[in-house]
């Protein structure tokens, strides 16, 4: 049953986007991630879900006592209502909400909102300065514009998955839909760019922002396209080994732990050799510079692997830190929670939640010196702010009850 009141008061938004109002009608991860980023920076975000059903993200693991944990983070710093946009009454209420918001975020399949008569012209007749972010797998144009998909599709078609996995083996998907987060990041940047444009002239009309998640992943793989264009090289998987610097890999220590190391410049390589008592490598013509080391990566990797295998993780850490060589143990979530740097930075913060009590999640990134940001609340229960939101539109308790009974909210 949808909640209708807030048990824990939510602090007022702060941050550089305080005062910005975002209406989020998107689902699952990419679109909601974009609006969550805006909410992290202080925007007032209203999340819209289908009555009785809610966002599909609610049904994705992990859960605790039936409460969706992923949902709590992706939809943090938002208020939540239910509204069926396909119903005439639902569309009318959407219009009233659009009139009061600066940004609309949606990620329906291309053309879906138009089929419901929720077109750009209709939206901007209500609010000419409305910025509309449309997040889809392949964009609003092109042969694939109506193709449904999910993160693994976008990652595979961007070239990313082909670069992951052991050399000569099967391409590898990551354990998290990273393309959804990347698409959300690009979407949020697009919104900010249009808001900056609108700031210069009050007569300007808000833009449609066409954000393809696949193209966002392609853009993230910086050198992939130009390398193929200029050299004809098709980059494929190489396991944990760096393809552009050597040594660069994940190495096992004598106490069964793992370390990620990359000697990406000549000066770092020289300090690395000093740290591991491998100064003889500096005179070896196979390893004279980085291109030579990349060419002979198997030889140098074997030497480094053997040297590290004789050290504990703490021994290795001490040596590399003493010589200012970049190094990282391979962390899991428990390691992150225990790390003194992350504790000092409050990289994991505690957030009050109506359903679970205090929950911990990542802090807001980045931080601002003059307009502090915070995680004000975790993702709302289904329809948690219906009474508050629709009451603010002027609906009476009887009207809200009628709409709820009709399945409109």
Query: Any alpha helices (H) in 232-365, and if so which ranges?
Result: 266-275, 290-295, 297-308, 313-322, 333-338, 340-345
Binned at pLDDT 50, 70 and 90, residue 9 comes out as: confident
> Across residues 165-183, what is the average pLDDT?
95
Dist CA 252 CA 272 (whole Å): 16
Instruction: Kindly report, residue by residue over 341-399, the tens digit of the pLDDT.
Output: 999 999 999 999 999 999 999 999 999 999 999 999 999 999 999 999 999 999 999 99
> Across residues 251-261, what is the average pLDDT?
96
> Are the CB atoms for 194 and 131 separated by under 8 Å?
yes
> Are the CB atoms for 248 and 264 separated by under 8 Å?
yes
Distance set, CA 351 to CA 11, 200, 324 (Å) = 11, 37, 36
Instruction: Kindly report, residue by residue over 140-159, the tens digit of the pLDDT.
Output: 999 999 998 899 999 999 99
Active site residues: 180
Instruction: Kindly report, residue by residue over 207-253, the tens digit of the pLDDT.
Output: 999 999 999 999 999 999 999 999 999 999 999 999 889 999 999 99
Residue 303 CB burial class (10 angstroms; 0-12, 13-18, ≥19) = middle
Give the pLDDT confidence score for residue 14 in this predicted structure.
Answer: 86
Q: What is the dihedral of CA 220, 226, 232, 236, to 10 degrees?
A: -10
> Across residues 16-43, what is the average pLDDT?
98
Q: Is the peptide bond before 71 cis (omega within 30 degrees of 0)?
A: no
> Are the CB atoms for 274 and 302 separated by under 8 Å?
no
> Are the CB atoms for 129 and 120 separated by under 8 Å?
no
Give the pLDDT confidence score for residue 1 in this predicted structure.
Answer: 37
> Tokens 């000419």 appear where?
128
CA triple 128-131-135, angle to 5 deg:
140
Instruction: Kindly report, residue by residue over 91-139, the tens digit of the pLDDT.
Output: 999 999 999 999 999 999 999 999 999 999 999 999 999 999 999 999 9
Above 80 in pLDDT, residue 3?
A: no
> Across residues 274-279, what is the average pLDDT?
97
**Both tokens of residue 378?**
């975790």
> Tokens 């770092």 appear where?
268
Give the pLDDT confidence score for residue 7 in this predicted structure.
Answer: 57
Beta strands 357-362 and 348-353, pairing class: antiparallel
Q: Which of 2-6, 225-229, 284-288, 329-333 has the lowest mean pLDDT?
A: 2-6
Dist CA 183 CA 133 (whole Å): 11
| Strand, helix or coil for residue 80 | strand
Beta strands 21-24 and 44-49, pairing class: parallel
Dist CA 137 CA 9 (whole Å): 37
CA nearest neighbour of 122 among 144, 142, 104, 148: 104
Q: How far is CA 89 from the centre of its chain?
A: 33
Strands (E), 120-199: 131-136
CA nearest neighbour of 107 among 74, 79, 77, 76: 74
> Are the CB atoms for 339 and 356 separated by under 8 Å?
no
Dist CA 35 CA 143 (whole Å): 28
Binned at pLDDT 50, 70 and 90, residue 77 comes out as: very high
Dist CA 357 CA 327 (whole Å): 37
Dist CA 23 CA 5 (whole Å): 20
Residue 94 CB burial class (10 angstroms; 0-12, 13-18, ≥19) = buried
Q: Could you give all domains of the chain from N- to C-terminal order, each with its CATH number?
A: 21-221+369-405 (3.40.50.10540)
Q: Which of 11-20, 29-38, 174-183 has the lowest mean pLDDT?
A: 11-20
> Across residues 6-12, what is the average pLDDT?
69
Above 90 in pLDDT, residue 4?
A: no
> Across residues 187-211, what is the average pLDDT?
97
Binned at pLDDT 50, 70 and 90, residue 2 comes out as: very low
Give the pLDDT confidence score for residue 8 in this predicted structure.
Answer: 66
| Phi, psi angle pair for 378, to nearest 5° | -80, 175
Long-range interactions of 116-121: CB distance < 8 A, separation 24+: 116/85, 116/86, 116/91, 117/91, 118/85, 118/91, 118/94, 120/208
Above 90 in pLDDT, residue 6?
A: no
**Both tokens of residue 283?**
């005179």
Percentage of the chain lying above the pLDDT 70 cut: 98
């Amino acid at each position: 049953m949808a909640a209708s009141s807030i048990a824990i008061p939510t602090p007022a938004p702060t941050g550089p986007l305080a005062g910005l109002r975002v209406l989020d009608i998107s689902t699952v991860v990419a679109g909601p991630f974009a609006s969550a980023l805006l909410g992290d920076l202080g925007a007032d975000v209203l999340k819209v879900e289908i009555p009785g059903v809610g966002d599909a993200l609610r049904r994705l693991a992990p859960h605790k006592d039936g409460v969706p944990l992923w949902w709590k983070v992706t939809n943090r710093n938002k208020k939540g209502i239910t509204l069926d946009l396909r119903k005439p009454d639902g569309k009318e209420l959407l219009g009233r909400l659009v009139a009061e918001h600066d940004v609309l975020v949606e990620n329906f399949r291309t053309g879906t909102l138009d089929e419901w008569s929720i077109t750009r012209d209709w939206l901007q007749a209500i609010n000419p300065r409305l910025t509309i972010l449309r997040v889809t797998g392949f964009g609003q144009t092109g042969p694939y514009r109506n193709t449904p998909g999910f993160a693994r599709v976008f990652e595979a078609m961007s070239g990313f998955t082909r670069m992951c996995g052991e050399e000569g083996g099967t391409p590898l998907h990551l354990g998290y839909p990273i393309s959804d987060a990347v698409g959300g990041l690009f979407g949020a940047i697009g919104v900010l760019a249009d808001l900056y444009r609108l700031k210069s002239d009050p007569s300007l009309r808000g833009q449609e922002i066409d954000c393809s998640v696949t193209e966002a992943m392609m853009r993230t793989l910086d050198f992939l396209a130009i390398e193929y264009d200029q050299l004809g090289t098709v980059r494929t998987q190489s396991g944990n080994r760096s393809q552009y610097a050597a040594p660069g890999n994940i190495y096992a220590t004598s106490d069964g732990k793992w370390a990620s190391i990359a000697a990406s410049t000549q000066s770092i390589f020289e300090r690395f050799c000093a740290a591991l008592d491998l100064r003889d490598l500096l005179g070896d013509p196979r390893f004279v510079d980085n291109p030579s080391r990349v060419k002979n990566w198997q030889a140098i990797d074997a030497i480094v692997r053997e040297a590290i295998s004789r050290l504990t993780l703490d021994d290795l850490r001490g040596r590399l830190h003493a010589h200012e060589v970049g190094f990282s143990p391979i962390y899991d979530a428990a390691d992150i929670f225990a790390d003194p740097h992350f504790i000092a930075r409050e990289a994991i913060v505690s957030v009050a939640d109506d359903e679970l009590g205090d929950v911990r999640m990542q802090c807001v990134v980045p931080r601002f010196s003059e307009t502090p940001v915070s995680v004000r609340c975790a993702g709302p229960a289904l329809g948690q702010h219906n009474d508050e939101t629709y009451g603010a539109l002027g609906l009476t308790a009887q009207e809200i009850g009628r709409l709820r009974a009709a399945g409109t909210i």
